A = this chain, B = another copy of it.
Amino acid sequence: MLSIGIDIGGTKIAAGVVDEEGRIIAQAQRRTPAQDPDLLEQAVADAVRDLRERHPVVAVGIGAAGFVGADRRTVVFAANLNWRDRPLAANVEALVDLPVVVENDANAAGWAEFRFGPAADASNMLMMTVGTGLGGAIVVDGRLLRGAGGFAGEIAHMTAVPDGQWCGCGNRGCLEQYTAGTALVRSVRAAASTGDPLLAPMLAAAGGDVEAIDGPLVTELATAGDPGARRHLAELGSWLGFGAASIAAVLDPEIIVIGGGVSEAGDLLLGPAQDRFAAALTARAHRRLAPFKQASFGNRAGMIGAADLARTDDA
């Protein structure tokens, strides 16, 4: 049984035919008409038609950044796409005549890791996606946690530090301000611009321009052994473990999957996260410590998860 998974990003729409083992059989891409919801739905439908011509698919799953209704059919609010209460599933169904489900993109990606990735043997998973921002996906007893209004898993906006760094959400000290790529770059740049000698190699690699330091450069240098890059990645990882311990106090997950671009640093990020988690978790002497695992599917996770969700009733 094949289904199509679609990941609507800010610049491109990635669509793929996915089989029941989570393998991508075929792919198609379209540009994202970000300003026009009608055109966007037509582009999605177009990609679907393209793929189904060659493959017998039974359903379509769409992952989108934003809050999705508990009915899995409506995008309640999507900041980047300027959507409010958009009946995305119904609209696309009308265009392609296939059943469509919609899911928050972080949830879709988390579902892929839960079904086919490092959490495949687990029933309870926390996934933290560390990209520019921080995303979260939670599986409880084999089902995605969506909450009363589809707002569950917004771990980015738990408060990590009262009166801490202002967040774009209007609050202070949100976990995202301490654990995501933006936070990493900010701290590295601050250290570099005050002349921290540990950052001298980084600054040299950025051609002497503090503003040219970015996340991939930090990861690259850390992988190559640079102590400054490693220290800042470890600091980020430590905050990740700190946040995970608070979430685990609520959820008690079996496994913690770390995805997103920054997770490509692997153990340089996950090691310090695991250590801080172990130190901060309550009742740690009496319980099994959830292991931190790197996500498997990179930026294809949203597509794979959305496709699988489309053929799963009880997710």
* Complex Cα–Cα for A252 and B68 (A): 13
A54 at the interface (CB under 8 A from B): no
* Complex Cα–Cα for A284 and B150 (A): 13
Return the CB mask of A259-271 against B: 1 if under 8 Å, else 0: 0000000000000
Within 8 A of B (CB), among A239-259: 242, 245-254
- Closest-by-CB residue of B relative to A198 is B279
The segment from A13-21, A40-48, A170-178, A216-224 found at the interface with B is A170-178
* Complex Cα–Cα for A188 and B211 (A): 28
* Complex Cα–Cα for A156 and B250 (A): 9
- Closest-by-CB residue of B relative to A157 is B282
Within 8 A of B (CB), among A3-30: none
Question: B190 to A250, Cβ gap below 8 A?
Answer: no
- Closest-by-CB residue of B relative to A125 is B148
Number of A interface residues in the complex (CB < 8 A): 68
A207 at the interface (CB under 8 A from B): no
CB distance from A2 to the nearest CB of B (A): 29
* Complex Cα–Cα for A155 and B150 (A): 21
CB distance from A171 to the nearest CB of B (A): 6
Residue from B67, B138, B157, B162 within 8 A of A286 (CB atoms): B67
* Complex Cα–Cα for A172 and B235 (A): 14
Question: Which of A195, A279, A282, A285 has the most chain B CB within a 10 Å cutoff?
Answer: A282
Question: B249 to A250, Cβ gap below 8 A?
Answer: no
